[in-house]
């Protein structure tokens, strides 16, 4: 796993200012060094520059980039961030076609695939990726992003028509003339839908991201956006038994493929069904090779003392972690984070994403990934199973299924209450959110035979993948890669998504049990106590000390005349929020963020505005 960056302009000749361009690429690489601390390199070509930082996982000796191959005098370059899980099948095809490989890296597989099949070769790939390919003969740059946006890729164009791209926004700001500016749309995203963002948007003015399932071609004629993958609606014809069997195969195959690595792998083990499934299959595969799996779980100091059971988090995780550890005999490490440290990490969390984040849901994971990265470079996680298999209440609670907006933020009054009146009127967040929801829903192809309730569930499944899951994937990538840890997400395999998206709800939800299809498919891999455990989300701290720290810091912001947050909020409303009890049972963003996270998020916004020296155009 790595980072990529670079620039392209068909009207330039960068060879005439090679030293200057080399410095630019070096600066971009340095800003992304955390993603690839093992090696840095770049190349300056007449029309473009390509930069790469490397986290060595496959072919440790020969896999450095940029990589170049030449056919009939045509040189083609690539910089690539990701993992290709069907690389061996693709390589076998190419060898049969006469291609000779000099490395065992999947980078070379991508490059030869492009050369043989053309730009649409990406449709053949199963993996997580963001990469740039430059074709010298045709003077064309192509930038690609994986099906679900697991790997990030941002870009913008400068006033002279130069396209600049990078794995993270911070690297774009290394290029002269690209400045951190926000406008009305930015504020709507920060205060209206944050920590989510609009698909294809980088939140900052004029900064975009390559959409999941898209690639972009840039040449002298301009920029062309191509869609190579989209989720499709189709009738489901398999019986329930066949569906269970196929689901089991797809899940096991995805996890098994993602164990591939030339360095040791580990798993996050929360004690929930999803991470337990991943851990069980991973452990079984490694045991066949005589390897004991390393596993890690996360919690907070004194959480057992202060834990509060509620509808969203009915039980502590640790007893279930211990059960799985003993069941699989893994080499397990319990990691804990204290309250002061978690509050401090809120600010580093902003830097990791270049935006306000999911508050302590991000900051704590950032801290834990830092600890795991001390000993490992690759971790498998249980992320995305809830979005794909229907694990959230809005899939089955009638009032949420029929919600005319994003069900994880049906009530935006907590957001509106803390903004000043002028900003509330200017942004008109209900209208903004409504238009965004309608835009995303319009992408869905409904089947004519579907009932209204079936159509609503299809809507929820789709917007979960497009919005909610994307937010969690952004979180997983930035919190892990900030410390050079590659996090893999086996459930976000397009084969699983394509199949399960069209499975009837009565197959996914049986005996009033969410994700019953996944549970049934995985019988025998985890103990029944875990397999049929009530869903519990990522842990949060219930320690009152954390709230005290947040409230103290927010009071300091409110009394700081230089705070840039104050121009947007109602200080009196926030003071009242600080006095009132913090509700853990009614989160303001899905199941993950409650009262304390609202305060933490505002602290992040305040820090972000100052740290990035953001200009505001409204």
Q: What is the pLDDT of residues 373-419, one digit of tens each?
A: 999 999 999 999 999 999 998 999 988 899 999 999 888 888 899 99
In whole angstroms, how far apart are CA 97 and each of 151, 426, 519? 30, 60, 42
Question: For the segment 14-41, what is each residue's pLDDT rounded down to a tens digit?
Answer: 999 999 999 999 999 999 999 999 999 9
Cα three-residue angle 361-367-369, rounded to 5 degrees: 95
Residue 374 CB partners (closer than 8 Å, separation 6+): none
Check whether domain 240-402+453-531 has CATH 3.40.1000.10, yes or no: no
Question: For the segment 184-227, what is each residue's pLDDT rounded down to a tens digit?
Answer: 999 999 999 999 999 999 999 999 999 999 999 999 999 999 99
Three-state DSSP string of 24-55: HHHHHHHHCHHHCECEEEEEECCCEEEEEEEC
Which pLDDT belongs to residue 597? 87
Q: Is the pLDDT of residue 517 over 70?
A: yes
Q: From CA 461, how far away is CA 445, in angstroms rounded? A: 12
Hey, CA dihedral for 86, 55, 9, 68, is it positive or negative?
Answer: negative
HSE, CB side, 13 Å, CA atoms: give it for residue 606: 22
The domain segmentation of the chain, as residue ranges, is 2-227, 240-402+453-531
- Calculate the average pLDDT of the chain: 94
Q: At what angle do helices 571-579 and 544-558 cross, to 10 degrees?
A: 160
Span 524-534, mean pLDDT? 92
Q: How many residues does the chain have?
A: 618
Structural tokens at position 314: 């009915």
Of 379, 307, 306, 301, the C-alpha closest to 334 is 301
Which pLDDT belongs to residue 220? 96
CA dihedral 82, 83, 88, 92 (to 10 degrees): -10
Q: Is 2 annotated as catalytic?
A: yes
Which pLDDT belongs to residue 78? 98
Roughly how many angstroms between the first and final C-alpha of the chain, as a whole number?
38
Q: Are the beta carbons of 496 and 255 closer than 8 angstroms?
A: no
Q: Are the beta carbons of 142 and 133 closer than 8 angstroms?
A: yes
Question: For the segment 327-341, what is each residue's pLDDT rounded down to a tens digit?
Answer: 999 999 999 999 999
Span 62-68, mean pLDDT? 89
Q: Are the beta carbons of 194 and 475 closer than 8 angstroms?
A: no
Q: Is the pLDDT of residue 155 over 90?
A: yes
Which pLDDT belongs to residue 593? 67
Question: For the segment 584-604, what is each residue's pLDDT rounded down to a tens digit?
Answer: 555 667 656 677 888 999 999
pLDDT exceeding 70 applies to what percent of the chain? 96
The residues pairing with 331 across neighbouring beta strands, listed in sequence order, are 294
Q: Is the pLDDT of residue 51 over 90?
A: yes
Span 43-56, mean pLDDT? 95
- Residue 477, classed as helix, strand or coil, is helix
Span 40-50, mean pLDDT? 97
Question: For the segment 344-365, what is each residue's pLDDT rounded down to a tens digit?
Answer: 999 999 999 999 999 999 999 9
Q: Is the pLDDT of residue 544 over 90?
A: no
Structural tokens at position 275: 């991470």
Question: What homologous superfamily does CATH list for 2-227?
Answer: Aminohydrolase, N-terminal nucleophile (Ntn) domain (3.60.20.10)
Across 26-61, b (16+ Cβ under 10 Å) vs e yields ebbbebbebbbbbbbbbbbbebbbbbbbbbbbbeee
Kindly state the greatest CA–CA separation across the chain: 72
Q: Is the pLDDT of residue 62 over 80?
A: no
Q: From CA 297, how far away is CA 588, in angstroms rounded? A: 26
Question: For the segment 412-456, what is each residue's pLDDT rounded down to a tens digit?
Answer: 888 899 999 999 999 999 999 999 999 999 999 999 999 999 999
Counting Cβ atoms within 10 Å, is residue 176 exposed (0-12), middle (13-18) or buried (19+)?
exposed
Question: For the segment 106-137, what is each residue's pLDDT rounded down to a tens digit?
Answer: 999 999 999 999 999 999 999 999 999 999 99
């Amino acid at each position: 796993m790595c980072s990529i960056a670079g620039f392209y302009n068909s009207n330039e000749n960068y060879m005439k200012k090679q030293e200057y361009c080399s410095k630019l690429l070096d600066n971009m690489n340095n800003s992304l060094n955390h993603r690839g601390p093992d090696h840095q390199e770049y190349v300056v070509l007449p029309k473009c520059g390509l930069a790469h930082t490397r986290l060595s996982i496959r072919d440790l000796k020969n896999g450095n980039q940029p990589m170049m191959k030449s056919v009939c005098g045509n040189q083609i370059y690539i910089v690539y961030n990701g993992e290709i899980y069907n690389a061996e099948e693709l390589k076998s095809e190419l060898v049969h076609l006469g291609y000779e490989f000099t490395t065992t890296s999947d980078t070379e597989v991508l490059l030869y695939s492009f050369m043989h099949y053309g730009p649409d070769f990406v449709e053949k790939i199963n993996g997580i990726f963001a990469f740039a390919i430059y074709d010298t003969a045709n003077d064309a740059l192509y930038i690609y992003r994986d099906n679900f946006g697991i790997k990030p890729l941002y870009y913008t164009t400068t006033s002279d028509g130069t396209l600049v791209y990078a794995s993270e926004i911070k690297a774009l700001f290394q290029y002269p003339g690209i400045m951190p500016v926000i406008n009305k749309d930015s504020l709507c995203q920060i205060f209206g839908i944050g920590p989510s963002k609009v698909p294809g948007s980088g939140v900052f003015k004029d900064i975009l991201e390559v959409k999941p399932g898209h690639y972009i071609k840039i040449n002298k004629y301009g920029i062309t956006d191509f869609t190579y993958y989209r989720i499709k609606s189709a009738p489901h014809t398999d019986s329930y038994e066949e569906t269970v069997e196929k689901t089991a195969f797809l899940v096991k195959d995805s996890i098994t493929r993602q164990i591939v690595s030339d360095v040791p792998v580990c798993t996050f083990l929360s004690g929930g069904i999803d991470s337990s499934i991943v851990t069980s299959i991973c452990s079984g595969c490694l045991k066949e090779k005589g390897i004991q799996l390393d596993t890690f779980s996360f919690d907070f100091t004194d959480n057992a003392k202060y834990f509060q059971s509620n509808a969203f988090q009915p039980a502590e995780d640790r007893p279930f972690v211990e059960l799985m550890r003993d069941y699989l005999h893994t080499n397990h490490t319990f990691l804990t984070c204290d309250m002061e440290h978690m509050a401090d990490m809120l600010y580093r969390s902003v830097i990791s994403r270049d935006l306000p984040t999911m508050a302590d849901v991000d900051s704590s994971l950032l801290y834990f990934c830092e600890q795991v990265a001390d000993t490992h470079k690759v971790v498998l996680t249980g992320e995305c199973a809830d979005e794909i298999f229907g694990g959230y209440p809005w899939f089955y609670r009638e009032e949420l299924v029929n919600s005319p907006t994003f069900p994880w933020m049906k009530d935006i009054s907590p957001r509106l209450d803390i903004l000043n009146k002028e900003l509330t009127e200017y942004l008109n967040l209900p209208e903004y959110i409504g238009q965004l929801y309608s835009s995303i829903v319009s992408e869905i192809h409904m089947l004519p035979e579907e009932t209204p309730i079936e159509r609503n569930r299809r809507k929820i499944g789709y917007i979960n993948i497009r919005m909610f899951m994307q937010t969690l994937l952004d979180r997983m990538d930035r919190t892990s890669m900030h410390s050079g840890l590659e996090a893999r997400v086996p459930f976000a395999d397009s084969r699983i998504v394509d199949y399960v998206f069209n499975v009837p709800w009565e197959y996914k939800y049986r005996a009033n049990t969410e994700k019953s299809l996944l549970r049934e498919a995985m019988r025998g891999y985890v103990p029944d106590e875990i397999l049929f455990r009530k869903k519990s989300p990522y842990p949060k701290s219930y320690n009152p000390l954390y709230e005290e720290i947040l409230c103290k810091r927010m009071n300091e912001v409110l009394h700081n005349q230089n705070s840039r947050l104050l121009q947007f909020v109602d200080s009196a409303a926030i003071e009242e929020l600080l006095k009132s009890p913090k509700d853990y049972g009614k989160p303001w963003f899905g199941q993950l963020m409650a009262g304390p996270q609202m305060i933490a998020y505002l602290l992040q916004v305040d820090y972000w505005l100052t740290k990035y020296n953001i200009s505001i155009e409204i």
